[in-house]
Amino acid sequence: MSKTSNQMWGGRFADQPDAIMEAINASIGFDKRLAAQDIAGSRAHAAMLAATGIISDSDAEAIREGLLTVLSEIEGGSFEFSTALEDIHMNVEARLKAVIGEPAGRLHTGRSRNDQVATDFRLWVRDQIDEAEGSLTRLIHALLAQAEAGAEWVMPGFTHLQTAQPVTWGHHMMAYVEMFGRDLSRVRDARKRMNESPLGAAALAGTGFPIDRHMTAQALGFDAPMANSLDAVSARDFALEFLSVASISAMHLSRFAEELVIWSSAQFRFVTLSDRFSTGSSIMPQKKNPDAAELIRAKIGRIFGANVALMMVMKGLPLAYSKDMQEDKEQVFDAADNWLLALAAMEGMVRDMTANVANLEKAASAGFSTATDLADWLVRETGLPFREAHHVTGALVALAEKTGRDLPDLTLDEMQAVHGNITASVYDVLGVHNSVASRRSYGGTAPDRVREQIARWKEAL
């Protein structure tokens, strides 16, 4: 290990760590993703140190210019990261010293790597939350477009993956609008909760220098500084909340992906996915595989796993900072990458997919999907208690099934043989279009109710 790293640690250590220690201790291989946030935090800190008279204006200006040079080198790809310098903070500081000399050594006044990394990580997670908010909003718009196009298209609604009652395509799309809308709400809530600055908490107890934490918080877009220095350096619940929000949203993505896999199969043919989000088979020329949906379904496990992994890292740690917390970032980086990728892929599939309207309606008419409408009609028109109407309807379903027909195909005489008060008006409720049109309760599948919800969401967005 180089002497540079030993000097960074100071005079406490006489011997150099060996290669194994360097390998397990270094985080630069992954935390270099925090470079922009690290430099933004350092610029804010330097400006505050000058404003409070802790360092000179000339030193602060040299630091500011030097940090911009370092950032330019990193973004341009010419920066050489060193594992001997452990992490992004030391890599940036060492390069800053090489660029501007002595003033670089004054940058770390009044802070520690503990509050520095906590600040960098919060800034990075906040950026991902902002990306997720945009991605969720775009996905909701894509679903609204599908819902508006198919507000009257009839399809089967399922329970237990068995035909239950007819619904509209628009109603089904709007169910996912509601799910992803709650994800959007959770994202926004999480951002508010985590938008406080750890910077200036120093190692754990604050600092004796007359720093202005409100100034750095404002410069970095935080609402306020965190109120307790121990909490500031040790809290990672902002990352855990991000992973929790991502996990719930990922679960919604996976459920929809599963439906798209089923719906695009030869057995269903409810939707056709575009070639942009499908692949072929190396041996079976007829195949069009919904690979994007399948990969979304699989990637979700990585997000769930990251949530559990970070919980396990944090659950046994006393206050304040422990090196265990270096293991927080890779999990969050991977989860964020895969969540944002899955959101983008789902948006693309939703925008491009085509509903096979005729197949949807044919399937909606099968499986005695209007049986509940028949039972409801018996209650309304004949005064039967619902449980008795349920029994009569079951007998009519059994008759239709035995003779290979659906309920609308039964004759009036056959129906009256089961219950004498059935009249010809029963056929008005047995068609699938009549069925969905009748479901006018708030939140129901009737086309006008679906359009009301679409309008509400368009206004909300």
Q: Which amino acid, 302? A: R
Pair of tokens at residue 198? 């750890």
Give me the residue label for tokens 């479901």: 439
Q: Which residues pair with 162 in a beta bridge?
A: 159
Q: Are strands 224-225 and 162-168 parallel, antiparallel or unpaired?
A: unpaired
The dihedrals phi and psi of 328, each to the nearest 5 degrees, come to -80, -30
Cβ neighbours around 128 below 10 Å, total: 19
Query: Sign of the C-alpha dihedral, residues 203, 209, 210, 215?
Result: negative
Spacing of C-alpha 255 from chain mean position: 13
Cα gap 111→120, rounded to integer Å: 13
Per-residue H/E/C for 328-372: HHHHHHHHHHHHHHHHHHHHHHHHHCEECHHHHHHHHHCCCCCHH
Which uninterrupted H or E stretch holds 157? Answer: strand 154-159
Cα gap 254→180, rounded to integer Å: 12
Instruction: Dump strand ranges (E) for 193-314.
Output: 196-197, 224-225, 271-272
Pair of tokens at residue 101? 């000399």
Please compute, for residue 199, the number of CA atoms within 13 A of its CA located in the half-sphere on the CB side: 36
Q: Which residues pair with 206 in a beta bridge?
A: none
- Residue 209 CA: distances (Å) to CA of 48, 53, 109, 201, 204: 11, 10, 8, 11, 14
Query: ∠ at Cα 155 (150, 160), nearest 5°?
Result: 135
Residues serving a catalytic function are: 160, 281
Q: Max CA-CA distance within the chain? A: 101
The dihedrals phi and psi of 87, each to the nearest 5 degrees, come to -140, 180
Cα gap 388→419, rounded to integer Å: 11
